[in-house]
A and B are shown apart, each in its own frame.
Chain A
Amino acid sequence: NAGVTQTPKFRILKIGQSMTLQCTQDMNHNYMYWYRQDPGMGLKLIYYSVGAGITDKGEVPNGYNVSRSTTEDFPLRLELAAPSQTSVYFCASSYHSTGSAFFGQGTRLTVV
């Protein structure tokens, strides 16, 4: 059972480039989340989804987009990368909105 799988693990982007961070879960969870983690700031929610076809903004959505075409996949798109998007990104999933969240291993992104 793989749980939550994120790819890639590391990436360096140049300013203005775009990329997609992939996230897949095999636990049939309805809820999926994207967080970014910056030193001393904890985790900030970027976007979340309560099921296929439904997404909503979190606390820090600017500069990002998501889609949820299937229960399993929840990709995060960065358009026009900026240095402020240098961070560690975590995808998570849960069965209920108040249930335990399972996290991926993270993607370390650097924008130069």
Chain B
Amino acid sequence: AQSVTQLGSHVSVSEGALVLLRCNYSSSVPPYLFWYVQYPNQGLQLLLKYTSAATLVKGINGFEAEFKKSETSFHLTKPSAHMSDAAEYFCAVSDQNTGNQFYFGTGTSLTVIP
């Protein structure tokens, strides 16, 4: 079965510091991987997605993620945190065996300290 694990339900960083949000997945076939961001009282917005073209994926707002098959990971990073990055972040996986479903992690709440 497919699953997504996000390590750390809450992450705090100082403004200007590196952001690292962790995501590990399980999938028996090549996965499609996604990061979504949710601002308070909003729906989810796509940050970036991996679909096997390139292992380093660049997304919106300066975020990027690297697919590492050997580690079954898809961690999200941003070199310098901004106050506006404070939000909830969700990792999701789908593949040809998920029956048309996306499986979401439990989310990581990012706080940016001024």
Contact = CB atoms under 8 A, between A and B. Distances in A.
Interface of A: 4, 31, 33, 35, 40-43, 45, 48, 50, 56, 58, 90, 92, 97-98, 100-106
Interface residues of B, number: 25
B46 interface: yes
Contact of B101 (A40, A42, A58): A58
Contacts of A98: 32, 51, 94-96
B56 to A, nearest CB: 18
Contacts of B43: 4, 90, 92, 103-106
A106 B44 CA distance: 9
A interface secondary structure, majority: strand
Contacts of B106: 40-42
Contacts of B95: 98
Contacts, number: 56
B100 interface: yes
A42 B94 contact: no
B90 A33 contact: no
Contact of A45 (B49, B102, B105): B102
B46 A42 contact: no
B84 interface: no
